[in-house]
A and B are shown apart, each in its own frame.
Chain A
């Protein structure tokens, strides 16, 4: 390198600034990645299909004369938001850390004057923002359709449901980042994340409810029930029919489940990443 001009001394920035740098470039990588495109395509396919089906068949429960905006959004948003959150978590978080080992990108970033925690948190935020972009696009299309059918009458519960979905996203990413820190192979961490979040938790929840007749308060997907529930009027309650109890998670319970999942799994994931070795 040229020594003709004296170089100023480098001052290594603080950890928070380094979180921002990691976040910025990981987000840029995500935005240009195939996974972002695939996820965006999935969100658009769901949106386009719903737009076409509703416009063509005009189902009475959604856009009929007796239907309300909240009915409309409970189907359009409530049914698919959790699915999109889970998919985003798997796509962006499933290999966020394991990829650093398998693809050797960690060899580019870790041997720098930066704490591993800054890399972890930066990547977490990048995944969170990328997932939020997908959710917002889906929400925007839902709202555009809602405005077309019901005018400017957007129920406040849709805002609540979006905030709950956002909170659920934190918990899902915490969980996927933890699994991602556990494995060194991207395929394993993504597969385990997908199986557990898309199928596993649902099966466990069903078994516990049906066979043990116990509220599955320790299952993340049970907590996410508040995302569609808040769009139901009146808010669903736990009911028992023919000896079978159908549990309905309350908003405080749902928030507590998601919050605990987020804190515990994100911290565990960070601890695992701190201890993991590049060998």
Chain B
């Protein structure tokens, strides 16, 4: 199987004197999840729309799997699933009909169509609504059907624009699980999001954009190492309350720890430097201190620091 790829070459989009995307160059290859980050108006959605023929670039080109999106749209989008904003479905159609329409447009083999639709709808937990008209659905329910539609053709590339926006906490968690499971199936996922913890949890790489310009594109760990002073943050859950003096004393003085704070009497937030080795050693030390560690996980804070540092620099 050819490795999925997105190649953006000198892509620009202007509206009069306003430049939404400026000479963007980005090459992403292979099965992975790439988070596309940036503040509101940075150019994320505009870029995704140019990758899906929703808008035309002012200059430059976009290639998906080697095919130019604007001159060979059908070939370029043949194995791409998309979710841009919250698409509306013709209100009088049922999910089964709407998804059959997409399956027919995408050339899903007739023999597999029904099964694939049922699988995709089951994946987003909308089985019970399969034959109800979409017009009565809530925004979150429509979003789920939209996600099902993007999975329908078993795409090698997924372009997702803030996929969990509009969903309830359970829905957001399910979307994260779906994205994680898709990543394991040799797919390239390019996903814009405002939720940094979500990106930190599911993405391998990040591309940050602001004022239409690419600020950085690298692996998550490289980016956070480069731009957040090589510091990571772990959140520690405890089975019993901990004394503040222990936190500011013995824990804060552990090797590699930059700072240790009590979030509440059973939760700690430890900032450290030194990478995975130090992270492992701190866990071992905490367990050795017999303070009742029950959870120990990295947070998106390092990415948040990176994000804020980079965005601040462009203001």
| C-alpha spacing A104/B90, complex, angstroms | 10
Minimum CB–CB distance from A184 to chain B (whole Å) comes to 13
| C-alpha spacing A275/B58, complex, angstroms | 12
Within 8 Å of chain B (Cβ to Cβ): is A29?
yes
Within 8 Å of chain B (Cβ to Cβ): is A7?
yes
Within 8 Å of chain A (Cβ to Cβ): is B55?
yes
B116 touching A107, Cβ below 8 Å: no
Once A18-B105, A110-B52, A113-B77 are accepted as A-B contacts, the answer to whether A1 and B119 lie under 8 Å apart by CB is yes
Set of chain A residues within 8 Å of B153, measured between Cβ atoms: 10
| C-alpha spacing A110/B75, complex, angstroms | 14
A105 touching B106, Cβ below 8 Å: no
A10 touching B79, Cβ below 8 Å: yes
Measured CB to CB, the nearest residue on chain B to A275 is B56
Within 8 Å of chain A (Cβ to Cβ): is B49?
yes
Once A10-B109, A111-B53, A111-B54 are accepted as A-B contacts, the answer to whether A29 and B151 lie under 8 Å apart by CB is no
Contact pick for A29, options B74, B90, B104, CB 8 Å: B90
Measured CB to CB, the nearest residue on chain A to B155 is A10
**Which of A2, A8, A110 has the largest count of B CB atoms less than 10 A from its CB?**
A110
Minimum CB–CB distance from B16 to chain A (whole Å) comes to 13
Set of chain B residues within 8 Å of A115, measured between Cβ atoms: 73-74
**Which of B90, B97, B133 has the largest count of A CB atoms less than 10 A from its CB?**
B90
Stretch at the interface among B81-89, B230-238, B270-278: B81-89
Interface residues of B in 266-308 (CB under 8 A from A): none
Once A2-B119, A113-B106 are accepted as A-B contacts, the answer to whether A107 and B79 lie under 8 Å apart by CB is no
Within 8 Å of chain B (Cβ to Cβ): is A54?
no
Interface residues of A in 1-47 (CB under 8 A from B): 1-3, 7-8, 10-13, 18, 21-22, 24-26, 28-29, 32-33
Set of chain A residues within 8 Å of B263, measured between Cβ atoms: none
Minimum CB–CB distance from A59 to chain B (whole Å) comes to 41
Within 8 Å of chain B (Cβ to Cβ): is A148?
no
Within 8 Å of chain B (Cβ to Cβ): is A108?
yes
B146 touching A8, Cβ below 8 Å: no
Contact pick for A113, options B46, B85, B105, B109, CB 8 Å: B105
| C-alpha spacing A49/B55, complex, angstroms | 50
Within 8 Å of chain A (Cβ to Cβ): is B102?
yes
| C-alpha spacing A279/B307, complex, angstroms | 26
Once A26-B90, A103-B88, A278-B49 are accepted as A-B contacts, the answer to whether A112 and B54 lie under 8 Å apart by CB is no
Q: How many A-B residue pairs have CB under 8 A?
A: 123
Measured CB to CB, the nearest residue on chain A to B49 is A278
| C-alpha spacing A115/B75, complex, angstroms | 11
Measured CB to CB, the nearest residue on chain B to A12 is B107
| C-alpha spacing A258/B93, complex, angstroms | 34
Measured CB to CB, the nearest residue on chain B to A105 is B88
Set of chain A residues within 8 Å of B133, measured between Cβ atoms: 32
**Which of B80, B84, B101 has the largest count of A CB atoms less than 10 A from its CB?**
B101
Contact pick for A111, options B84, B89, B98, CB 8 Å: B84
Set of chain B residues within 8 Å of A111, measured between Cβ atoms: 52-54, 77, 80, 82, 84, 159
Set of chain B residues within 8 Å of A29, measured between Cβ atoms: 90-93
Interface residues of A in 59-93 (CB under 8 A from B): none
| C-alpha spacing A117/B153, complex, angstroms | 22
Measured CB to CB, the nearest residue on chain A to B184 is A3
Measured CB to CB, the nearest residue on chain B to A277 is B55
| C-alpha spacing A3/B120, complex, angstroms | 12
B77 touching A8, Cβ below 8 Å: no
Once A3-B185, A112-B106 are accepted as A-B contacts, the answer to whether A107 and B75 lie under 8 Å apart by CB is no
| C-alpha spacing A79/B234, complex, angstroms | 79
Contact pick for A25, options B86, B97, B107, B109, CB 8 Å: B97
Set of chain A residues within 8 Å of B119, measured between Cβ atoms: 1-2
Set of chain A residues within 8 Å of B91, measured between Cβ atoms: 29
Which 10 pairs, one residue from A and one from B, show the smallest C-beta to C-beta distance?
Answer: A107-B87, A111-B52, A32-B92, A108-B87, A278-B54, A111-B82, A277-B55, A29-B90, A104-B88, A25-B101
A-B contact pairs, 5 of them (CB 8 A): A12-B74, A13-B107, A25-B98, A111-B53, A113-B105
Known: A21-B104, A25-B90; 13 extra A-B contacts, CB below 8 A, are: A10-B79, A10-B108, A12-B78, A12-B106, A32-B92, A107-B84, A108-B89, A108-B98, A112-B82, A112-B105, A113-B80, A113-B106, A279-B49
